[in-house]
A and B are shown apart, each in its own frame.
Chain A
Amino acid sequence: AQSVAQPEDQVNVAEGNPLTVKCTYSVSGNPYLFWYVQYPNRGLQFLLKYITGDNLVKGSYGFEAEFNKSQTSFHLKKPSALVSDSALYFCAVRASGGYQKVTFGTGTKLQVIP
């Protein structure tokens, strides 16, 4: 069965510092990987995805993520954190090909400290 692990419930980072939110996955075959962000009392918003191609994926709001097949990881990064980045971040995975169900991680709360 496929799975996603977000090992940190919360990540604290000072404004202006780089941030990393970790994600590892398990899936049969080639993965499709996603990051979503959820602000309070809102639905999830798509940030970026890895389907194929370049391992470094760039997304919305200056976020990027690196696909590492050997480590089965897809960590979310941003060079300089903003207070407005404070939110709940979800990693998700599905197998490639046709329709495949998506599995979400449990989420990581990012707190950017002014």
Chain B
Amino acid sequence: NAGVTQTPKFRILKIGQSMTLQCTQDMNHNYMYWYRQDPGMGLKLIYYSVGAGITDKGEVPNGYNVSRSTTEDFPLRLELAAPSQTSVYFCASSYEVRMNTEAFFGQGTRLTVV
């Protein structure tokens, strides 16, 4: 199993550009998440999904959009990139059945907006 795979690993965007961060998991997990990690701030939840076709906002959703058309894929869309979106982005998934609640993380996407 590959686990959670994120692409790209690094990206530099100009202000106002758009991009999609890809995330796919092969563990048949029902829940998927997008976090951003800023220095000294821990992880902040951007969006999450409890299953295909269902998404909901997290703590910091502004400037982002998501979709979940399949169990495996959960892309994150940045429409108009801003310097405040410079961060490291992590996709994660979990299997929320019984007590299997721990999350599995991808290796991250380091995004710089200039």
Binding site for B on A (CB under 8 A): 4, 9, 32, 34, 36, 41-46, 49, 51-52, 90, 94, 99, 101-102, 104-107
- The answer for the CA separation of A34 and B4 in the assembled complex, in Å, is 19
- Number of B residues with CB within 8 Å of any CB on chain A: 23
Q: If the complex has contacts A42-B107, A43-B4, are A49 and B45 also in contact, measured as CB distance less than 8 A?
A: no
Distance between A1 CB and nearest chain B CB, rounded to angstroms: 10
Inter-subunit contact B106/A43 (CB<8 Å)? yes
Chain A residue at minimum C-beta to C-beta distance from B59: A101
Interface pair B105/A49, CB less than 8 Å apart: no
Q: Interface readout for B41-62 with A: 1 if CB under 8 Å, 0 if not? A: 1110100101000000010000
Contact of B58 among A9, A52, A101 (CB under 8 A): A101
CA gap between A4 and B42 in the complex, in Å: 10
Measured CA separation A11–B31 after assembly (Å) = 33
Given A49-B102, A99-B50, A102-B103, residue A42 in contact with residue B43 (CB < 8 A):
no
